[in-house]
Chain A
Amino acid sequence: MKKVITKISLRITILAIVILAGSFLGFKLVKKPLTSEEYPKTDQRISDKYSQGSLEESSNREGITKDTKPMPLYGNWQTFTKKNGLPADKAYCVRIDGDRVLVGTSAGLAVYENDKWRTYTVEDGLAHPGVLSIDVSELTGDVWIGTLGGLNRWSAGRFETFNQFNSGLANDVIYTVICDGKDVWVATGGGAGSYDTYTGQWGIYTERNAPMHEPWTYGVCAGGGKIFIAAWGGGVIEYTTKTQLFRDYIDPDGEMEIDLFTDDGVIHDITTGVTYADDILWVATYFGLSRYDGTRWKGYLDHDTGLISNFINFLKANGPVVWLCTDMGLCSFDGETWVTYQKKENSMEGKILITNGDDTKEIASSTSIAHEFVIGVDTQDDVIWISTSKGVSRGELLK
């Protein structure tokens, strides 16, 4: 009898252990996904996941090409601040123009040429010392400068000023200026605008004649026969130059506090920048990154991708790679691989984070970008320039 009880007890015990193990596993499997609150902070996640390496190891690209597609990797950063001749440490934008580099700062336009900086201010004809955006016309070589107090054309050494009083500008705060053939486009706090440099005619685009909720615009880019406008609170406005027709892309969930589905459209209606290359439209927001291939949208957020921060100040695409200026460093992305350039705290050294899927690698760098709050970027050939909250940096393609 005792043996029977013991056998039964033993069987029950084994069964109980099986049930216990099963229920434990089941509980793990059906456990709800982490909420954003429960998610570890980005830094914590990164440090948990990263394996360590050095720039020297990675510069031959073997480590990267094994796991990822070949992404351009930059290093040998050289930083310029007020001490080196910039008029101010805070640099809003940067534009490479052949052998020279144009930098918009909070205290004027700085031009780097032949290893020297030269500053242009209001005394030289600049509309305002705060220079937010710069572009160069491929047709004429004229430099177009968007400032906090109007638009400048810098041509043949002379600054010509356009503002609300003497032109068709919708507002004097020019967040973005771009050249598209003979046309110059601007995004301002009072609407988007176009200027035909041949006829001198202005066009103003606001909620009255375009599908915008409000006239606030922040970014503009050209590509594929279209103009794309980042409308603050209104998503992206697309203007087809041939048909002169508009359409808009807004966040389908219609809510500001959430993103219901990441890939259902533009991440958020508060858009901060647009860029177009290789038939892809990239959209920056303070809530993440969106990519549109003409058919489908894809969204990227910092909690489940290699995007270092959802707060994207500016972006620029060059071929298949988009450069993202975030508040936590400079990021590049080609649709698969993320590369982030950061500065080590209290150090001149930097680090590079390479993320492909769930794998992230950290590489030490003996040089770093000037500051992690990156506001502007431009690349040309093997060189990259960035403008930051505290200086500008020049990097070189590592080979």
Chain B
Amino acid sequence: MKPRFLVLTILAFIFLFPATDLIGQDKKQDKKLNYGNTIDVQVPYGRFQKADKNFFDDLQPFTGAGREKVPPTDLTEVRIGLLGPLEGSVLSPQGIQMLQGATLAMEEANEKGGYRGIPYKIFPHNDVGLWGAAANEVVKMNDEKVWAFIGTIDDINTHVALRVALKLELPMVNTGDPDPTLTETRIPWMIRCIADDRQSSYALVNYIYHVKKHSRIAVLRANNRYGRVGIMEFRDAALRYGYPLVLEIRYNDGETSFTTQIERMIKSSPDAVVLWGNAKETALILLQLRKMGMKQPVYGCDRLMSPVFLEIAGEEAEGVITTCQYNPTLDMPNLVAFNKNYEKRFGYEPDVFAAHAYDGMNIIIDAIDLAGLNRALMRDVMTDLKTLQGYQGITGEIIFDASWNDIGVIWMTEVRNGKFEFFPPPPFEQENLTGSIAAKKP
């Protein structure tokens, strides 16, 4: 019996050990989250090739000097910068909201005694002006001895500011630019507390192709960096689901007639339309495409979710579906208080830029409280993915990934009875090729 027992034992080892090892590996793989909350079927080149290097699996440390610097003892105010489109830009209404949201957070902090009795003070800077103004303005903020800054909304200005922030080693919190590439620069001096267009695109693509079962999408987008980079993730995600866009055309900011573009859209026979741009132009496009006979459902980016869009589009706005980086109607005590206090302080409702700037300023204030007045130490607590991870802001729970991008929950909205109604995006479909690419496969 002994030899048989030995044989059986060895055979059991042969079969059990590799199997358990593999099971273990599978479990490990299940736990791994792809960069940017990307589902497996959406990983770039994932169907064909494993990348030589995934850049955002690990945190980029800051190994420079500065942590040893002693805080000044003669301060009369703690200065925080704000860079935004405050005047002279089509984005100025949003810039003003951003400034007001940050101001409210600062005023509330000062009511509680500021930083160890020293009041906070905001130093606003306009990012609109001479070419590359954002770079010059960040230098000015540094000369003013700010401890950190919030900024900005426009993609180009934010990138330019970020580059200078690295040189100056100045902590930066972005609260208004959803450009996915902004945090893909490995600069360990910035966090972003607003969901980016990658998250918006994934939610929209899933909703459009899987929930609504559309297959032929035409895109009309702004001919600027916001439109180009914003739609990039949408286009890629649609393609990876198996639905290449049937058309992607552009318009320039400030245009009022979109006949040429709409005629081309009609010829492409889409079963739905996606608009990616600012509220004013997209509302005008909506009116004109309905006038020209296009009755297809319309989807759009978060910038459509604006009173300006509702006002211009009127009844035609009904049924338009967009994404939004937060839900202002949630019954959270901190959000309810913010909405009430903001309206009382500034006379009108806050928008998405005000809400995120409020959270961004509070994050800076918390970082100062925790680390003291030392830029490098403030940076450390802002970026360690521990201290402020899961921050409970008025915009919801903020979850940072290893590139310090906010990959927390985003929302979707639909215009119903002249109002934006919010709903959570349906769970992502891991479904494989479903569209035209799959249909062509043998």
Contact of A215 with B by CB under 8 A: yes
Q: In the assembled complex, which residues on chain A have CB atoms less than 8 Å from the CB atom of B186?
A: 270, 286-287, 311
Evaluate contact between B6 and A171: CB separation under 8 angstroms.
Answer: no
Q: Of the candidates B4, B7, B32, B132, which one forms a contact with A189 in the assembled complex, judged by CB atoms under 8 Å apart? A: B132
Task: Mark contacts of B156-187 with chain A using CB atoms, 8 A cut-off: 1 yes-contact digit, 0 otherwise.
Answer: 10011001100110000000000011001111
A89, A149, A255, A303 interface centre (most CB from chain B within 10 Å): A255
Contact of B70 with A by CB under 8 A: no
Minimum CB distance partner of B60 in chain A: A311
Evaluate contact between A189 and B11: CB separation under 8 angstroms.
Answer: no
Report the minimum CB–CB distance from B60 to chain A (whole Å).
6
Name the segment of B51-59, B254-262, B342-350, B358-366 touching the other chain. Answer: B51-59
Contact of A132 with B by CB under 8 A: yes
Q: Of the candidates B32, B61, B136, which one forms a contact with A327 in the assembled complex, judged by CB atoms under 8 Å apart? A: B61
Evaluate contact between A173 and B44: CB separation under 8 angstroms.
Answer: no
Q: Of the candidates A16, A371, A373, which one forms a contact with B7 in the assembled complex, judged by CB atoms under 8 Å apart? A: A16
> For the complex, what is the distance from the CA of A74 to the CA of B52, rounded to whole Å?
33
Report the minimum CB–CB distance from A80 to chain B (whole Å).
14
Report the minimum CB–CB distance from B149 to chain A (whole Å).
15
Q: In the assembled complex, which residues on chain A have CB atoms less than 8 Å from the CB atom of B58?
A: 36-37
Contact of B76 with A by CB under 8 A: no
Minimum CB distance partner of A301 in chain B: B53
Report the minimum CB–CB distance from B168 to chain A (whole Å).
8
Minimum CB distance partner of A258 in chain B: B51
Decide: A257 near B54, CB < 8 A? Known: A13-B3, A148-B139, A233-B181.
yes
> For the complex, what is the distance from the CA of A127 to the CA of B174, rounded to whole Å?
29
Report the minimum CB–CB distance from A252 to chain B (whole Å).
11
Contact of B145 with A by CB under 8 A: no
> For the complex, what is the distance from the CA of A371 to the CA of B68, rounded to whole Å?
13
Contact of A172 with B by CB under 8 A: yes
Name the segment of A3-11, A54-62, A152-160, A332-340 touching the other chain. Answer: A3-11
Q: In the assembled complex, which residues on chain A have CB atoms less than 8 Å from the CB atom of B61?
A: 327
> For the complex, what is the distance from the CA of A200 to the CA of B180, rounded to whole Å?
41
Contact of A390 with B by CB under 8 A: yes
Decide: A389 near B167, CB < 8 A? Known: A16-B10, A171-B135, A260-B49.
no
Contact of A130 with B by CB under 8 A: yes
Minimum CB distance partner of A23 in chain B: B14
> For the complex, what is the distance from the CA of A36 to the CA of B184, rounded to whole Å?
17
Evaluate contact between B14 and A172: CB separation under 8 angstroms.
Answer: no
Report the minimum CB–CB distance from B58 to chain A (whole Å).
7
Report the minimum CB–CB distance from A42 to chain B (whole Å).
11
Task: Mark contacts of A7-31 with chain B using CB atoms, 8 A cut-off: 1 yes-contact digit, 0 otherwise.
Answer: 0011011001101100100010000
Contact of A259 with B by CB under 8 A: yes
Decide: A173 near B139, CB < 8 A? Known: A9-B4, A13-B7, A233-B159.
yes
Evaluate contact between A286 and B187: CB separation under 8 angstroms.
Answer: yes
Contact of A170 with B by CB under 8 A: yes
> For the complex, what is the distance from the CA of A311 to the CA of B186, rounded to whole Å?
8
Minimum CB distance partner of B14 in chain A: A20
Contact of B439 with A by CB under 8 A: no
Q: In the assembled complex, which residues on chain B have CB atoms less than 8 Å from the CB atom of A348?
A: none
Contact of A238 with B by CB under 8 A: no
Minimum CB distance partner of A148 in chain B: B139
Q: In the assembled complex, which residues on chain A have CB atoms less than 8 Å from the CB atom of B184?
A: 256-257, 270
Contact of A214 with B by CB under 8 A: yes
> For the complex, what is the distance from the CA of A255 to the CA of B180, rounded to whole Å?
11
Q: In the assembled complex, which residues on chain A have CB atoms less than 8 Å from the CB atom of B163?
A: 175, 189, 216, 218, 232
Q: Report how many A-B pairs have Cβ atoms within 8 Å.
A: 168
A6, A215, A256 interface centre (most CB from chain B within 10 Å): A256
Contact of A253 with B by CB under 8 A: yes
Decide: A148 near B63, CB < 8 A? Known: A214-B159, A258-B55, A301-B53.
no
Decide: A327 near B3, CB < 8 A? Known: A173-B164, A218-B163, A311-B186.
no
B10, B54, B64, B225 interface centre (most CB from chain A within 10 Å): B64
Q: How many residues of A are in contact with the other chain, CB < 8 A?
A: 64
Report the minimum CB–CB distance from B50 to chain A (whole Å).
8
Contact of B13 with A by CB under 8 A: yes
Contact of B35 with A by CB under 8 A: yes
Report the minimum CB–CB distance from B125 to chain A (whole Å).
14
Contact of A386 with B by CB under 8 A: no
Evaluate contact between B36 and A257: CB separation under 8 angstroms.
Answer: yes
Evaluate contact between B53 and A373: CB separation under 8 angstroms.
Answer: no
Evaluate contact between A171 and B32: CB separation under 8 angstroms.
Answer: no
Report the minimum CB–CB distance from A344 to chain B (whole Å).
14
Evaluate contact between B225 and A173: CB separation under 8 angstroms.
Answer: no
> For the complex, what is the distance from the CA of A35 to the CA of B35, rounded to whole Å?
14
Decide: A256 near B181, CB < 8 A? Known: A6-B3, A215-B132, A216-B159.
yes
> For the complex, what is the distance from the CA of A164 to the CA of B136, rounded to whole Å?
10
Contact of A262 with B by CB under 8 A: yes
Contact of B66 with A by CB under 8 A: yes
Minimum CB distance partner of A259 in chain B: B53
Q: Of the candidates A148, A232, A261, which one forms a contact with B52 in the assembled complex, judged by CB atoms under 8 Å apart? A: A261
Decide: A327 near B63, CB < 8 A? Known: A190-B131, A301-B53.
yes
Q: In the assembled complex, which residues on chain B have CB atoms less than 8 Å from the CB atom of A216?
A: 156, 159-160, 163
Evaluate contact between A253 and B225: CB separation under 8 angstroms.
Answer: no
Report the minimum CB–CB distance from B377 to chain A (whole Å).
15
Evaluate contact between B136 and A172: CB separation under 8 angstroms.
Answer: yes
Q: Of the candidates B3, B14, B66, B181, which one forms a contact with A10 in the assembled complex, judged by CB atoms under 8 Å apart? A: B3
Report the minimum CB–CB distance from B310 to chain A (whole Å).
33
Evaluate contact between A262 and B131: CB separation under 8 angstroms.
Answer: no
Report the minimum CB–CB distance from B93 to chain A (whole Å).
25
Q: Of the candidates B56, B65, B156, which one forms a contact with A389 in the assembled complex, judged by CB atoms under 8 Å apart? A: B65
Contact of B75 with A by CB under 8 A: no
> For the complex, what is the distance from the CA of A89 to the CA of B69, rounded to whole Å?
11
Contact of A95 with B by CB under 8 A: no
Report the minimum CB–CB distance from A343 to chain B (whole Å).
11
Q: In the assembled complex, which residues on chain A have CB atoms less than 8 Å from the CB atom of B4?
A: 9
Report the minimum CB–CB distance from B178 to chain A (whole Å).
15
Report the minimum CB–CB distance from A67 to chain B (whole Å).
27
Report the minimum CB–CB distance from A23 to chain B (whole Å).
6
Minimum CB distance partner of A22 in chain B: B14
Report the minimum CB–CB distance from A204 to chain B (whole Å).
9
> For the complex, what is the distance from the CA of A188 to the CA of B133, rounded to whole Å?
12
Q: Of the candidates A6, A175, A260, A311, which one forms a contact with B45 in the assembled complex, judged by CB atoms under 8 Å apart? A: A260
Q: In the assembled complex, which residues on chain A have CB atoms less than 8 Å from the CB atom of B181?
A: 233, 256
Decide: A191 near B11, CB < 8 A? Known: A128-B139, A259-B52.
no
Q: In the assembled complex, which residues on chain A have CB atoms less than 8 Å from the CB atom of B65?
A: 89-90, 371, 373, 388-390
Q: In the assembled complex, which residues on chain B have CB atoms less than 8 Å from the CB atom of A148?
A: 139, 142, 164, 167-168
Enumerate 17 A-B pairs (CB-CB under 8 Å) in ascending A order. A19-B14, A89-B65, A148-B167, A148-B168, A170-B132, A171-B132, A172-B139, A190-B131, A191-B132, A214-B225, A256-B180, A257-B36, A260-B44, A286-B186, A288-B53, A311-B60, A388-B65
Starting from the known contacts A259-B51, A268-B55, A327-B64, 7 additional A-B residue pairs (CB-CB under 8 Å) come to A16-B11, A175-B163, A216-B156, A233-B181, A256-B55, A256-B184, A301-B52
Q: Which 8 A-B pairs have the closest CB atoms?
A: A190-B132, A9-B3, A171-B132, A189-B135, A258-B51, A256-B184, A389-B64, A373-B64
